[in-house]
Amino acid sequence: MIGVYQLFLRLVDRLPLPSVKAQQRFALAALLSQALIAVTGSVVRVTGSGLGCPTWPKCFDDSLLPIPQDEVPWWHQAIEFGNRQIAVWIVVTTSIAIVLAVTRARRRREILVYAWILPFSTFAQGILGGVTVLTGLRWWVVGAHMLVSCAMVWIAATLYAKVGEPDDGVEIEAAPAGARRLVALSAVVMAFVLAAGVVVTAAGPHAGDRTNPKAIDRLDLSIPALSLTHGLLVAAYVAILVWVAVLVVRGPSSEAVRRRLKIVFAVVAAQSLIGVVQYFTGVPALLVVLHVAGAMSVIAETAILYRLMRARVLRASDVPTDKVAA
């Protein structure tokens, strides 16, 4: 196994040495692609195209590609097949690209680990996507598929933040320690928010397949009650962010942390507005897609904020002793 990896390193060394900025671009592309697959997945759902290709990995039992079918309209096939192609060509390509870039640059171990997680988790996510089709879009399988995407966006965002840091030197607290712990707590609450959102969607009007929606497994629970739970969790998440802001304003914090916190608040405000409008307008398809895109943005921005609160600097001599992270 070691010999195989050494051979891999020798092959990678034939590639041009990427600059840090180039690595950041690759990391950003990987992050955007992970978010994109969640958004295109929501398009599949709201257009009722989840079974546009009713088998997996082929589109039909006797065809890898979409084919004329009376039972399955061509546009449903095109949307579902297009979603699969995005997963294969865009997500996999960007995941492999960042692995090659940071490996060629011989980045520190944690960056390599985060980078390698992306292609392997993308492969696993592809299999889970196949399971959602083969099980007839069962709500809990579809929900798991969505939550895995959320986790991958967090990982990709963390990688993006780490890639821009120097590999040597020390880490310092760029914000009050209490603020960083609260952001970690907000991430836990956010996970519950996302899970609650998945449950609301499972009980909502978008089953994911319009050819035979009654056959799709749905969650038979009160949507108003589920939405209220979802909203209360969002309120808890926002309350924690406000507490974080108070600590950041009062205590010593880097400009990067303050700027990112403002971005987080802006994204959360927009996402909350979309959610409220979505609920009171009968969950229109476009707003569902925008809400998923907003969720990916909140995840990414929260992950980056968390990382920025513990910054890595080039030389220990540049850092006051009391600021060095334990």
- Tell whether the model's pLDDT for residue 266 goes beyond 90: yes
Indicate the residue type of 39.
V
CA distance 208 to 156: 27
> What per-residue confidence (pLDDT) applies to 316?
52
Residues of the chain above pLDDT 70, percent: 93
Give Cβ neighbours of residue 17 (< 8 Å, ≥ 6 apart). 104, 105
Domain boundary assignment for the chain: 2-323
pLDDT at 34 > cutoff 90: yes
Instruction: Report the mean per-residue pLDDT for the chain.
Output: 90
In one-letter notation, the amino acid at residue 73 is P
pLDDT, average across residues 41-58:
90
Burial letters 60-75, b for 16+ CB under 10 A, else e: eeeeeebeebeebeee
Q: Is 173 left (phi over 0), alpha (psi -120 to 50) or beta?
A: beta
Instruction: Compute CA distances 196 → 36, 227, 297, whole Å.
Output: 21, 8, 17
pLDDT at residue 21 greater than cutoff 60: yes
Question: Percent of the chain scored above 90 by pLDDT?
Answer: 70
pLDDT at residue number 214: 56
| Residue-wise pLDDT tens digits, 224-264 | 999 999 999 999 999 999 999 999 999 899 999 999 999 99
pLDDT digits (tens, 9 = 90+) for 268-315: 999 999 999 999 999 999 999 999 999 999 999 999 999 999 988 776
> Please, which residues have CB within 8 angstroms of residue 134's CB and are 6 or more apart in sequence?
55, 56
Residue 324: its pLDDT value, please? 47
CA dihedral 215, 218, 220, 221 (to 10 degrees): -160
Residues written for the chain: 326
Q: Which pLDDT tens digit goes with each residue over 142-181?
A: 999 999 999 999 999 999 999 999 998 788 899 998 999 9
Structure-block tokens of residue 182:
């609260």
Beta pairing partners, 324 = 172
